[in-house]
Amino acid sequence: MSFPINGRIAIIDDNINQARPLMDVLSSKQYPFTYYSGELKYLPSKEDFCNDIRVVFLDINLIDNSEHDEKTLRSMLVPVLTRIISPKNYPFVIVYWSRHENHQKLIKDIFETDLKDRKPIGFLNESKLNYFNLDGSPSEELENSIDQLFGRIDVLLNENPVFSYLLHWENTVHISADNTVQELYSFTNSTKDWEHEANYVFNKLGKSYSGKYFDRSSPEEKINSSFQALNSVFLDTLEYETNSKPVDIPRLLIPEAANHDSIISINKKLLLSFDTSELQYSGIVIENNKKADKTEYSELINNLIFPNIKKHIYEREGIDPYMEIDLHKRKGLEKLVSIELKQFKEVLLEKQFRIILNVTPLCDFVQKKQKYDRLVKGLLIESKFKSSLDDKSEAIFISPDFLFNGLSYFLVLDFKYFFTDNVEENDDYKPIFRIRQQVLSEVQSKLARHVNRQGILFL
């Protein structure tokens, strides 16, 4: 069963004695959990919200052992659930129980009305009388009932296989992090020498990442360098764990066809990050408002759209653009191309952003080695213009479509406009977002191929 082993389980019950059997079973299975009595003063503040729960065990009656109407129960449940489950807490399932069958629909109704911004992806309702007597004492079948409960939870998780797979992946991340620490910080020496050894290894890791700059780094920079080195080992461990630990009950997923809006929304998360604190950081996309650069961007647009417009007009007239034709007719066609090019550019210029991408190697930024930032000029263009661009040039990089400013955009870079500069945030340079490392690596790889074309020497 892909049950969370990283502490993402919450138990909400006003009576800790009735929650204890569940706690005991979770503890015996080494599933960490958080217990909430329902008292508001012991609940997380809104400032502490994090997406941190995957399974919630909830007692519907958080008041006492008496019977209450749904209005009274709701008035207690909504504030408690609001403080424990944030709107960003997704996905999760909820297991809820009550002694009274007529209350079983209450929880679903709460998440359909009061808390619809944090609705679970799965529900499991249980009768508390299967576990406890009316006086609150454990039933004779408690141990067997708890075992059966976990069996039903297993069924609930497997009803949504993707959720089960995500839990498996989160568990793999947790195990990989643990293995990384074990591999690097398990020393054969006695406990009293552990700190000395650990300090040495931690510093060596940081120095391996940031190089000579490590010696003159601040304490915070040294620690972050060590974390980055740990990340390298962790990612390798995670990759191995992922490939070597098969998921439980693998099933073929048959998704429905996704619409374009969902694809560009997902691409926004896969391709972009909006952490833009430093313009010198590798992958930062900067809006360029320098008036002096307008001419270059105009040329860049010409290079992108001229070949396709010319080809389209010649094909429309039934003429091969590479064949010899009457000079007068060719001049007429070239004039038509110029007119349509100008018209297209006027529309395009209203729907694009002039940008610069920082392609400086990350190691140069980390080690403070760059005297100048390596930069490439390009454009952010609405996706509806994509089919009109010439994408055959090896000097051009075109990204997949992604959501930006509520519309579908794509990123275009022209490596012919590669240059160096010291970028600082001002009226001319404004950060927009950062492309993620995999995208940046692809850009850098294509840029390297562009500047490293050997050519052929021959007579």
Q: Decide: 203 and 226 in contact? Cβ < 8 Å.
A: yes
Q: What is the pLDDT of residue 337?
A: 62
Q: Is the pLDDT of residue 331 over 70?
A: no
Strands 429-435 and 9-12: unpaired
Identify the residue with better confidence: 403 or 99: 403
Asked if 92 contacts 121 with a C-beta cutoff of 8 angstroms, the reply is yes
What pLDDT digit, counting tens, does each position of 232-270 carry? 999 999 999 999 888 877 887 777 766 667 889 989 999
With beta carbons less than 8 A apart as the criterion, state whether 89 and 122 touch. no
The type of residue at 141 is: E
What span, in angstroms and rounded, lies between the C-alpha atoms of 277 and 299? Answer: 31
- The two tokens of residue 177 are 């992090």
Neighbours of 2 (CB within 10 A): 22
In the predicted structure, residue 397 carries a pLDDT above the cut 60: yes
Assigned token pair, 89: 């807490």
Which pLDDT score is estimated for 111? 93
DSSP state of 43: S
pLDDT at res. 341 = 66
Specify the pLDDT at position 328: 56
pLDDT tens digit sequence for 102-142: 677 899 999 999 999 999 999 998 887 777 776 667 777 77
State how far Cα 7 lies from the chain centre: 21
3-state secondary structure of 33: coil
Pick the residue with more confidence: 138 or 408? 408
Residue 204 predicted with pLDDT over 80: yes
**pLDDT class for 291, splitting at 50, 70, 90?**
confident
Task: Give residue 65's pLDDT.
Answer: 76
The overall average pLDDT reported for the chain is 84
pLDDT tens-digit series, residues 299-322:
887 777 766 666 666 666 666 655
* CA distance linking residue 221 with residue 207, whole number of Å: 11
Q: What percent of the chain has pLDDT over 70?
A: 85
Is the separation of the CB atoms in 270 and 436 below 8 Å?
A: yes
Please report the pLDDT score of residue 120 as a whole number: 94
Which residue's structure tokens are 């990340």?
A: 231
Q: What is the pLDDT of residue 226?
A: 93
Residue pointed to by tokens 């508001």: 40
CB within 8 Å of 94: residues ≥ 6 apart: 55, 56, 58, 107, 120, 122, 123, 124
| pLDDT of 34 over the 90 cut | yes
| Band (12; pLDDT cuts 50, 70, 90) | very high
pLDDT at 409: 92
